[in-house]
Chain A
Amino acid sequence: MRTFETPLYPYERSPDQDASMPARHPVVVVGAGPAGLAAAIDLARRDIPVVLLDENDRVSYGSRAICFAKRTLEILDRLGCGDEIVDHGVTWSRGKVFFRDRCIYEFDLLAEEGHRRPAFINLQQYRLEELLVGRLRDLQSEGRPVELRGGSRVTKVEPAAASVLLTVETPEGPYRLEAEWVVACDGAGSTVRRELGLEFAGRVFEDNFLIADVTMKADFPTERWFWFDPPFNRGQSALLHKQPEGLWRIDLQLGRGVDREEEQRPENVVPRLRQMLGDDVEFELEWISVYTFQCARIDRFRHGRVLFAGDAAHQVSPFGARGANSGIQDVDNLVWKLERVLRGRSPDSLLDSYDAERVPAADENILNSTRSTDFISPKSETSRLFRDAVLNLAETQPMARPLVNSGRLSLPHVYLDSPLQSPDTDGLPARTRPGSPAVDAPVGDGWLLARLGDRFQLLALGNCAAETGCAGVPAGIRREAPASGSSAALGIDVPDDEPGLEVVSQPAGRHPLLNERYLGDAPGALYLLRPDQHVAARFTDYDPERIADAFRRARARETDDP
């Protein structure tokens, strides 16, 4: 039996089903796909009790997302399962682009040095989900408060004043749950979204795409091949992508108005693949399906106590691997905010910043994936004329190659206009400006990002490291714990339950890539980092008033009075 056909979390009766009143839970996550699993894991790690409901009892069916980008891998590191996932994945750097009957150029993606994680890995979505379920099971055995309920389909969503009532259908009949907060990760066909009557507005693409997973019987180069208008698929496109375990993923564009059943018949698929791979390559078909897609989103991702993430909130075209990646980035943004609100450390307006930050991120993903789609599948005579000219030029003119768009690598969104960000300080590198995710860099025998995350931190670099580590503590700031190693704990006068601000310091001179990415020509800097490793503010001098102000803003607090 294939992985995605094996029950992994079969339905079991919950005591909630026998309760006389609906059992109340702080957070219910609906949907155990990549976003829902990541949300449940992150909540459980923070000791926020979470119930994860899934209508199914196994990982997602068939061949779906396959490419996980660096930022996603860094988030998975923070969730404690980056190593397993990266170890299972494969990476590639060489690719070929074909136009009609010839290879027009080859490329080698030379990844920037000094990052723990590669630019991306390829991994089957069902394998990622299987590893995330494993991580969730580990957390359960550590006693973390997380439950995964299979065979539990949400059928009704009723928002009330201070909670949301959910009706859950099971093999033994329905029951009701009361959730303080609902995180809806129930995919493109979201029931929660439909129940709230929210419009999913955008552009539907009519092109059909065929997915085939094949196992090659002999060695085949680990390269990404993309064809525009190939002889075996005239007027359309094709993509060959490496997956782990000897699997290859093939996406064949079929065009509009095709007979989907007919196209999926192996006797129609195999001859095309033979033409594509060459007569001497033996392969076996593992999976065939046909899909269409849309680029759409709901207007807001927060609706009272219901928070939408992943495909339930937004859908993109598959070009550029922005679906699963953006879903995991959504919950990375959401979960620390939810924790703060649940613990009473921030007002619930902090959750409005989820909307303010992730809606533009979704728009950026939709824009990029729509541009790729328009290049791959030109919608007018003129756009085809330009597209073909770009491809013809690309064979001999390097200037045209950046215009060839078969999907742009998913990069994390920079929250430039976020209400949580403070104004930037001049003279520091652009790539780490407020709103950016912290950029990794080697430090000593480890990595910067491994030292960051989960809580608010002050990264003190260069001569600022010495200032925060040794200088007298100015008014308004209290040091909470003595310095230990390169890291001291430092807090601002805040309510007693506020975990405060941890200082991570790196003196000058030791780490050239760290200095290049965070200091540029400045002798020192202080970076205020959020629990999701995004930069909230940065300074070139140690001004406790400004730091305290930025810290308040990043927590959506008006004041720090209890």
Chain B
Amino acid sequence: MTRLQNKANIPDSDSFYEEFLDLHQGCSRDESDALNVSLILLLANHIGDHEVLREAMQVAAQVVLGSKPEP
């Protein structure tokens, strides 16, 4: 049973998306990378559920790489 929320879950999602992009305004590629990675770490800690995080990793790998990562 999947536990990762894959239905839309953010109210006013356009505004969230805009804020997300604004965060990267004027950033170099390195700065953007560092921002993204820091966000991943903060959000992953907030979720705190290894199963959910693993599922998210698998979904991302499926979408981006077309495969599930090796366990």
A residues near B, CB below 8 A? Answer: 385-386, 388-390, 392-393, 397, 399-400, 403
Point out the residues of chain B lying under 8 angstroms from A386, CB to CB. Answer: 37, 41
Q: Does B4 contact A (CB under 8 A)?
A: no
Point out the residues of chain B lying under 8 angstroms from A392, CB to CB. Answer: 34, 38
A397 to B41: give the CA distance in the assembly, Å: 11
Per a CB cutoff under 8 Å, which of A385, A397, A400 touches B34? A385
Point out the residues of chain A lying under 8 angstroms from B41, CB to CB. Answer: 386, 389-390, 393, 399-400, 403
Q: Does B45 contact A (CB under 8 A)?
A: yes
Point out the residues of chain B lying under 8 angstroms from A385, CB to CB. Answer: 33-34, 37
Point out the residues of chain B lying under 8 angstroms from A397, CB to CB. Answer: 42
Chain B interface mostly = helix
Considering the complex, give the chain B residue whose CB is closest to the CB of A388.
Answer: B34
A527 to B38: give the CA distance in the assembly, Å: 47
Q: What is the CB-to-nearest-CB distance from B58 to chain A, in angstroms, rounded to a whole number?
A: 18
Chain B 8-52 near chain A by CB (<8 Å), digits 1 or 0: 000000000000000000000000011001100110010000000
Is the pair B42, A399 in contact by a Cβ cutoff of 8 Å? yes
A386 to B34: give the CA distance in the assembly, Å: 8
Is the pair A389, B37 in contact by a Cβ cutoff of 8 Å? yes
Point out the residues of chain A lying under 8 angstroms from B37, CB to CB. Answer: 385-386, 389
A400 to B38: give the CA distance in the assembly, Å: 10
Chain A interface mostly = helix
Number of A-B residue pairs having CB atoms within 8 Å of each other in the complex: 23
A116 to B3: give the CA distance in the assembly, Å: 45
Give me 23 A-to-B residue pairs in the complex whose CB atoms sit less than 8 angstroms apart, sorted by A's number.
A385-B33, A385-B34, A385-B37, A386-B37, A386-B41, A388-B34, A389-B34, A389-B37, A389-B38, A389-B41, A390-B41, A392-B34, A392-B38, A393-B38, A393-B41, A393-B42, A397-B42, A399-B41, A399-B42, A399-B45, A400-B41, A400-B45, A403-B41
Most buried by A among B34, B41, B42: B41
Q: What is the CB-to-nearest-CB distance from B69 to chain A, in angstroms, rounded to a whole number?
A: 13
Considering the complex, give the chain A residue whose CB is closest to the CB of B37.
Answer: A389
Point out the residues of chain B lying under 8 angstroms from A389, CB to CB. Answer: 34, 37-38, 41
Considering the complex, give the chain A residue whose CB is closest to the CB of B39.
Answer: A389
Considering the complex, give the chain B residue whose CB is closest to the CB of A400.
Answer: B41
A123 to B2: give the CA distance in the assembly, Å: 50
A386 to B42: give the CA distance in the assembly, Å: 12
Q: What is the CB-to-nearest-CB distance from A401 to chain B, in angstroms, rounded to a whole number?
A: 11
Q: What is the CB-to-nearest-CB distance from A394 to chain B, in angstroms, rounded to a whole number?
A: 10
Point out the residues of chain A lying under 8 angstroms from B42, CB to CB. Answer: 393, 397, 399
Q: What is the CB-to-nearest-CB distance from A365 to chain B, in angstroms, rounded to a whole number?
A: 22
Q: What is the CB-to-nearest-CB distance from B7 to chain A, in angstroms, rounded to a whole number?
A: 27
Q: What is the CB-to-nearest-CB distance from B65 to chain A, in angstroms, rounded to a whole number?
A: 14
Q: What is the CB-to-nearest-CB distance from A170 to chain B, in angstroms, rounded to a whole number?
A: 52
Point out the residues of chain A lying under 8 angstroms from B45, CB to CB. Answer: 399-400
A399 to B48: give the CA distance in the assembly, Å: 11
Point out the residues of chain B lying under 8 angstroms from A388, CB to CB. Answer: 34
Point out the residues of chain B lying under 8 angstroms from A400, CB to CB. Answer: 41, 45
Point out the residues of chain A lying under 8 angstroms from B38, CB to CB. Answer: 389, 392-393
Question: Would you list which residues of chain B between 44 and 64 have a CB under 8 Å from chain A?
Answer: 45
Q: What is the CB-to-nearest-CB distance from B25 to chain A, in angstroms, rounded to a whole number?
A: 20
Point out the residues of chain B lying under 8 angstroms from A390, CB to CB. Answer: 41
Point out the residues of chain A lying under 8 angstroms from B33, CB to CB. Answer: 385
Most buried by B among A388, A389, A397: A389
The list of the 8 closest CB pairs from A to B, nearest first, reads A389-B37, A399-B45, A389-B38, A385-B37, A386-B37, A385-B33, A393-B38, A389-B41
Considering the complex, give the chain B residue whose CB is closest to the CB of A381.
Answer: B33
A399 to B34: give the CA distance in the assembly, Å: 17
Q: What is the CB-to-nearest-CB distance from A396 to chain B, in angstroms, rounded to a whole number?
A: 11
Q: What is the CB-to-nearest-CB distance from A382 to chain B, in angstroms, rounded to a whole number?
A: 8
Considering the complex, give the chain B residue whose CB is closest to the CB of A387.
Answer: B37
Q: What is the CB-to-nearest-CB distance from A358 to chain B, in angstroms, rounded to a whole number?
A: 26
Q: What is the CB-to-nearest-CB distance from B52 to chain A, in angstroms, rounded to a whole number?
A: 16
Q: What is the CB-to-nearest-CB distance from A179 to chain B, in angstroms, rounded to a whole number?
A: 44
Considering the complex, give the chain B residue whose CB is closest to the CB of A392.
Answer: B38
A385 to B39: give the CA distance in the assembly, Å: 12
A393 to B41: give the CA distance in the assembly, Å: 9
Q: A393-B42, A399-B41 are in contact. List 9 more A-B contacts (CB 8 A).
A: A386-B41, A389-B34, A389-B41, A390-B41, A392-B34, A393-B38, A393-B41, A399-B45, A400-B45
A304 to B35: give the CA distance in the assembly, Å: 56
Q: What is the CB-to-nearest-CB distance from A300 to chain B, in angstroms, rounded to a whole number?
A: 26
A193 to B38: give the CA distance in the assembly, Å: 46
Point out the residues of chain A lying under 8 angstroms from B34, CB to CB. Answer: 385, 388-389, 392
A209 to B34: give the CA distance in the assembly, Å: 28
Q: What is the CB-to-nearest-CB distance from A19 to chain B, in angstroms, rounded to a whole number?
A: 57
Considering the complex, give the chain B residue whose CB is closest to the CB of A403.
Answer: B41
A385 to B45: give the CA distance in the assembly, Å: 17
A386 to B38: give the CA distance in the assembly, Å: 8
A389 to B30: give the CA distance in the assembly, Å: 12
A29 to B1: give the CA distance in the assembly, Å: 54
Considering the complex, give the chain B residue whose CB is closest to the CB of A402.
Answer: B45
Q: What is the CB-to-nearest-CB distance from B71 to chain A, in angstroms, rounded to a whole number?
A: 15
Point out the residues of chain B lying under 8 angstroms from A399, CB to CB. Answer: 41-42, 45
A521 to B41: give the CA distance in the assembly, Å: 37
Q: What is the CB-to-nearest-CB distance from B32 to chain A, in angstroms, rounded to a whole number?
A: 11
Point out the residues of chain B lying under 8 angstroms from A393, CB to CB. Answer: 38, 41-42
Considering the complex, give the chain A residue whose CB is closest to the CB of B48.
Answer: A399
Considering the complex, give the chain A residue whose CB is closest to the CB of B46.
Answer: A399
A388 to B35: give the CA distance in the assembly, Å: 11
Q: What is the CB-to-nearest-CB distance from A397 to chain B, in angstroms, rounded to a whole number?
A: 7
Q: What is the CB-to-nearest-CB distance from A395 to chain B, in angstroms, rounded to a whole number?
A: 12
Considering the complex, give the chain B residue whose CB is closest to the CB of A386.
Answer: B37
A498 to B41: give the CA distance in the assembly, Å: 57
